[in-house]
Structure 1
């Protein structure tokens, strides 16, 4: 599989898990975000490149989390801000189109929820594009209040930490083979779900 640019690959292999993004992965994450957004209203309107850039400050702060394959390719990433008044904002979640349906987005949500708990938040909120509302609803997010953004209308939804759906609590099983798990433990990453969960 070819890389475009370094660190970004078209295709999907076994999900290794979640880890904190490196500062030098900013360009690869920008390409991933642009590819994941292809066909959305934002891309059709020809927004400038800076819209898709992941700020270096956020990478340095360690708040960007990436899903990667066993081979080390980037499959998706998330960005969680806050908390502010007990609420964390899921400021971005993008999955490579070739990896969609493999459980990558679900794993990123589980990881974001765990991080929100670690930070002492009671709730996660997200401003979702209309085409992503169904995904967030399946993850347990509720509410469909339309809000204006500089890219057009979007939908604000929220997930109460203590009221997470069964999909997050029970159907996502964070289990992985011993050898990859040991390798990821040294990196400080989150292990991947088993294949049954990833295929859901």
Structure 2
């Protein structure tokens, strides 16, 4: 992780939604069989109006990644769900993902949530575990998603 990269995390704007959508739909992590999961995903004005959507910007204003929190999400009342978490290909490995997770967790705590659920893309589960998430279940394949996905949580109480 670099300590010299200046990152600002802010609420998403309507003007950024097309770039956020493109980041989701073209992510290399979703190539091959996984593409079906993101091919039709859209981040638009209605989405960012309903869900906390936080965007990491580099010093030049470029979008380096984003994360979203749904409340309610999976789980019980008082719990939320990380819905999207993407880092631009060129910015991966710089600690942007961890900054976004920490930011979403801080917002979840500020809302009084006790837990954040994550249904992880299988190759990303290790990242979430390194950020403090623990496994609670496995989501079995259904619909167009033909693979199992880890269900993790980050506990916020305490």
> So what's the TM-score if we normalise by structure 2?
0.83
CA contact (8 A) 1:35 1:96 kept: no
CA contact (8 A) 2:9 2:55 kept: yes
Question: What is the rounded CA distance, in whole Å, between the counterparts of 2:20 and 2:6 in structure 1?
Answer: 17
Tell me the SS of whatever aligns to 1:50.
coil
Match of 1:156 among 151, 154, 158: 151
* C-alpha deviation, 1:60, in angstroms: 2.8
> Residue in 1 aligned with 2:40?
50
Question: What is the rounded CA distance, in whole Å, between the counterparts of 1:133 and 1:28 in structure 2?
Answer: 25
Q: How does 1:108-127 map to 2 (within 5 A)?
A: 108-127=100-119
- Runs of 4+ with deviation above 3 angstroms: none
Unpaired runs of 5+ in structure 1?
A: 1-12, 164-200
> Residue in 1 aligned with 2:120?
128
C-alpha RMSD of matched pairs (Å): 2.1
Equivalenced residues, count: 148
Question: What is the rounded CA distance, in whole Å, between the counterparts of 2:59 and 2:32 in structure 1?
Answer: 29
> Residue in 1 aligned with 2:90?
98
CA contact (8 A) 1:88 1:124 kept: yes
Q: How does 1:58-77 map to 2 (within 5 A)?
A: 58-61=47-50, 63-77=52-66
> Could you list the per-position Cα deviations for residues 8-48 of structure 1 after superposition, in whole angstroms to 9, with x for gaps in the alignment?
xxxxx9342210000121111011112324425321x4x67
Q: How does 1:1-200 map to 2 (within 5 A)?
A: 14-36=5-27, 37-39=29-31, 41-43=33-35, 45=36, 49-51=39-41, 53-61=42-50, 63-83=52-72, 85-143=77-135, 145-148=137-140, 149-150=142-143, 151-152=145-146, 153-162=148-157
Question: What is the rounded CA distance, in whole Å, between the counterparts of 1:40 and 1:69 in structure 2?
Answer: 29
> So what's the TM-score if we normalise by structure 1?
0.67
Larger mean CA deviation between 30-39 and 79-88 belongs to: 30-39
> Residue in 2 aligned with 1:196?
none
* C-alpha deviation, 1:144, in angstroms: 5.0
